[in-house]
Structure 1
Amino acid sequence: MIDDLPIRKIIHVDMDAFYASIAQLDNPELRGKPIAVGGGGKRGVISAASYEARKFGVKSAMSGRLAEKLCPHLIFVKTDFDRYKDISNRIRKIFYDYTDLVEPLSLDEAYLDVTENKIGLPSATLIAQKIRSRIFDEIGLTASAGISINKFIAKVASDYNKPNGQKTVNPEDVLQFLEDLDIRNFYGVGKVTAEKMYQKGIFTGKDLKSKSADYLEEHFGKSGRSYYDIVRGIHNSKVKPNRIRKSLAAERTFNENLSSEIFMLEKLEHIAEEVSKRLDKSKVAGKTITLKIKFSDFTLQTRSKTLPYFISDKTVILDTAKDLLYQDKLKNSVRLLGISLSNLNTNDTKPKTLEKEKKSVSVQLKFDF
């Protein structure tokens, strides 16, 4: 327990069914109806689903065919990333009216540190309400928010009252909130890890908290230490206004499985061109090229090569991807190809965590949230 430990006021804003909501905003006749963004055609995959569609079990990453079986009257709409980016930029401008400490996670969600904010309002809860109201009034979309002392808890809290709601976890409530939390709701604990935890009698945060750091590290590797800290309210990652891109990629799922490498090369050329455009737009280059191959039986394979210099040129990317394609004989026909560039020429200035900050959050801490 440390009384002078600075407590941050963090908001996680998460737009509600962002892509689908934009489609309904732009097409009033779609409002109140089950829609899926993407997923059209025999091999299409859903990018997003409206809440009306989710009631039938339709969700992102699901095949369009399965979604249509679950919801026969499902309406498919095309993706429009230019529109999504435009709306996302307008939302971020609203964020910047309150703080410069904004860390976008994607087009539809971001962390905001409002400990010290531009309007001098001490309550992060009220700031979140103002932001959500402005997004609705100025853009016509709803957003949900989580508010707490660190990014992890704010992220978890933003899911509690979706859609169009918010939840605040005050400092004095943090430890109880984490103890009561179902382990499946711990951000970063995936399905496989959750099943492993179940097998070891870990179902809630309280069960997790009962395990020692050594036990968790033994059974969950490096992640074990983070689980040990997180359930005690320790998560010292700051809101980073300039998130450093780790990789950049593009991929394509095909309407028909490809068995001929000649046809694959044609597809790779388009993918390499898209990657090159994205690199130029982001003004970055990379050294490591990775070819992603998903076969018709849904098994996934990646092949990588690291060059001695940074590249962003389409020709070099394509030539390297070709070499990787021919590196090993393909075991089956191919349904997806992707190219990613990592080891980018960006500097990671992630601050080192001070050992003295590794303290449990005091249940005594109280101030205006």
Structure 2
Amino acid sequence: MDSIILHVDLNSFFASVAQQNHPFLRGKPVGIIKAIGRTCVIANSDEAKKFGVKTGMSLSEVKTLCPQIILVPADFSQYAEITKKFIKLMDNYSDQVEVFSLDEVFLDATWTAVFFGGPVNLAKKIQSTVQEQLGECLGVSIGIAKNKFLAKLASSLALRKNFFIINDENQAEVLNSAKFEDVCGIGRRLTQRLKVMGITNLGQIVKTPEKILAAEFGPFWAFELKRLARGEDNSSLITQDQLPDAKSVSRTYTLFKNTRDPIIIKALIRNLVEEACFKLRKMGLVGRQFGLAIRGDDFNQSNCVTRKIFTDNNQQIFNQLYAIYIRWHWPYSVRFAGVWISLLTRKKYLPRPLFLNDQKQERILQTMDQINKTYGDYTIYPATLINQTIIRPEVNGYTKL
């Protein structure tokens, strides 16, 4: 049975709140500014958007496009109050609600849609309730699909105060025609690089060999782009009570002497990732922020990447961190390296992987951990560490959790 995921997005939120609070603004082009004296708009009403006004435009640009626009200072406390009410309303339709931003949430209605007559009737009920409870100017667009990625894409395709469904019948057509700006996960810079390659839609990504994408973006993003283009997403909803504590798992190591050998440096990073991930799995945790720190020659560098999907997979995390290192074009020798995994949650809170490949990878990790537990650390290990000095586990408090 496919999941039923809804993405509920309040339309033109800031401007709609202003129009709800001030009836004379209704039907008129409204631009929201942070405060009096600020020189750009941070949000716009639907009426302003029809004139081509966009978020981030300078006031001179805005007034050239729409001389009659009415500028209103933002009221963030009011937005916060509306958001709280909005989330409380959504809790009536599912016990699995993820707050994605101030004006949008995901609902897992797999087991609750039936009580409202199915997902379509549920969407209509949500739309009417929002306007009844929050105000007639507060409309929502709703995307309905089998996973979060497709549901968000569907809501971006829905008309104002309407809904859009992506199902097995129209998924291929929708993905092939989707614009990159409608796709969560493909930003402006990535879009520009794809267009340079002559790729302008998701359908073309599917047809592009992964090795060509990897040559341009690296193995991780090549895989991610293919996954997005196929509409695949096994990420689960993260509810408010599942938000992770501010803690991390890390592993650092100082070499006995500096090295510029790329094979040794790559093995060092992989070894530290193996250590950190083993700790992570032993504690029953998964993370979605991964960081790398390198020092040497009186110079140091650190960076991290944050993903939307939790993982404890050694290879996935290593790909992320090694990609960071490659991007640095590090010209110095290396003496110290450290990795960390943060934004953690308990793995038991997440559903089992849906896709066969993800299930296979999880079984492999479980088997590796069991072999190393039975026969000793690094009885089995990645090929990257062959003929390298293996860093052994440190004794610390993690094992007591």
TM-score range (shorter-chain normalised) is 0.5 to 0.7
* Secondary structure of the structure 1 residue equivalent to 2:71: strand
- Tell me the TM-score normalized by structure 2: 0.59
Where structure 1 has 5 or more consecutive residues not aligned to the other structure, the ranges are 1-5, 248-287, 289-302, 306-342, 360-369
* Secondary structure of the structure 1 residue equivalent to 2:169: helix
Does 2:236 correspond to 1:241?
no
Does 2:118 correspond to 1:120?
no
2:45 equivalent in structure 1: 50
* Secondary structure of the structure 1 residue equivalent to 2:53: coil
Cα distance in 1, alignment partners of residues 213 and 74 from structure 2: 42
Cα distance in 2, alignment partners of residues 138 and 168 from structure 1: 25
Write the mapping of 1:146-161 to structure 2, written as runs, cut at 5 A.
146-161=143-158
* Secondary structure of the structure 2 residue equivalent to 1:167: strand
Aligned pairs, how many? Answer: 264
Cα distance, 1:353 vs. partner? 4.9
Cα distance, 1:148 vs. partner? 0.5
2:105 equivalent in structure 1: 110
After superposition, the Cα gap between the structure-2 partners of 1:172 and 1:133, relative to the gap in structure 1 and judged at 3 Å, is same
* Secondary structure of the structure 2 residue equivalent to 1:238: coil
After superposition, the Cα gap between the structure-2 partners of 1:92 and 1:355, relative to the gap in structure 1 and judged at 3 Å, is closer
- Partner amino acid, structure 2, of 1:238: S
Write the mapping of 1:183-332 to structure 2, written as runs, cut at 5 A.
183-221=180-218, 222-242=220-240, 244=243
Equivalent pair of 2:113/2:119 in contact (CA under 8 Å): no
Does 2:64 correspond to 1:66?
no
Equivalent pair of 2:156/2:182 in contact (CA under 8 Å): no
Cα distance, 1:133 vs. partner? 0.9
1:92 equivalent in structure 2: 87
Cα distance, 1:130 vs. partner? 0.7
After superposition, the Cα gap between the structure-2 partners of 1:227 and 1:349, relative to the gap in structure 1 and judged at 3 Å, is farther
Where structure 2 has 5 or more consecutive residues not aligned to the other structure, the ranges are 247-290, 292-300, 304-339, 360-401
Cα distance, 1:83 vs. partner? 1.0
1:129 equivalent in structure 2: 124
Equivalent pair of 1:234/1:358 in contact (CA under 8 Å): no
Cα distance in 1, alignment partners of residues 82 and 2 from structure 2: 32
* Secondary structure of the structure 2 residue equivalent to 1:219: helix
- Partner amino acid, structure 1, of 2:182: N
2:272 equivalent in structure 1: none
Equivalent pair of 1:183/1:202 in contact (CA under 8 Å): no
- Partner amino acid, structure 2, of 1:108: D
Cα distance, 1:168 vs. partner? 0.6
Moved more, 94-103 or 117-126: 117-126
Cα distance in 2, alignment partners of residues 227 and 208 from structure 1: 7
After superposition, the Cα gap between the structure-2 partners of 1:146 and 1:246, relative to the gap in structure 1 and judged at 3 Å, is farther
- Partner amino acid, structure 1, of 2:2: I
Equivalent pair of 2:30/2:44 in contact (CA under 8 Å): yes
Residues 41-96 of structure 1: per-residue CA shift (max 9 Å, x gap) = 55433221111111222222222333223222221111111111111111112111
* Secondary structure of the structure 2 residue equivalent to 1:172: coil
What CA RMSD, in Å, does the superposition of the two structures yield over aligned residues?
A: 3.1
1:167 equivalent in structure 2: 164
- Tell me the TM-score normalized by structure 1: 0.64
Cα distance in 2, alignment partners of residues 144 and 167 from structure 1: 8
* Secondary structure of the structure 2 residue equivalent to 1:13: strand
Cα distance, 1:344 vs. partner? 11
Equivalent pair of 1:246/1:344 in contact (CA under 8 Å): no
Cα distance, 1:212 vs. partner? 2.8
After superposition, the Cα gap between the structure-2 partners of 1:102 and 1:185, relative to the gap in structure 1 and judged at 3 Å, is same
After superposition, the Cα gap between the structure-2 partners of 1:192 and 1:346, relative to the gap in structure 1 and judged at 3 Å, is closer
Cα distance in 2, alignment partners of residues 79 and 224 from structure 1: 40
Equivalent pair of 1:16/1:162 in contact (CA under 8 Å): no
After superposition, the Cα gap between the structure-2 partners of 1:224 and 1:132, relative to the gap in structure 1 and judged at 3 Å, is same
After superposition, the Cα gap between the structure-2 partners of 1:227 and 1:85, relative to the gap in structure 1 and judged at 3 Å, is same
After superposition, the Cα gap between the structure-2 partners of 1:96 and 1:354, relative to the gap in structure 1 and judged at 3 Å, is closer
* Secondary structure of the structure 2 residue equivalent to 1:348: strand
Cα distance, 1:155 vs. partner? 0.6
Cα distance, 1:118 vs. partner? 7.3
Cα distance, 1:31 vs. partner? 0.6
After superposition, the Cα gap between the structure-2 partners of 1:354 and 1:22, relative to the gap in structure 1 and judged at 3 Å, is closer
Cα distance, 1:39 vs. partner? 5.3
Cα distance in 2, alignment partners of residues 344 and 31 from structure 1: 48
Equivalent pair of 2:245/2:345 in contact (CA under 8 Å): no
2:283 equivalent in structure 1: none
Residues 263-313 of structure 1: per-residue CA shift (max 9 Å, x gap) = xxxxxxxxxxxxxxxxxxxxxxxxx9xxxxxxxxxxxxxx999xxxxxxxx
1:182 equivalent in structure 2: 179
The structure whose residues are more often helix, as a share, is: 2
- Partner amino acid, structure 2, of 1:241: T
2:271 equivalent in structure 1: none
After superposition, the Cα gap between the structure-2 partners of 1:106 and 1:185, relative to the gap in structure 1 and judged at 3 Å, is closer
2:356 equivalent in structure 1: 356
Cα distance, 1:35 vs. partner? 1.1
1:143 equivalent in structure 2: 140
Cα distance, 1:157 vs. partner? 1.0
Cα distance in 1, alignment partners of residues 341 and 223 from structure 2: 28
Cα distance in 2, alignment partners of residues 138 and 76 from structure 1: 26
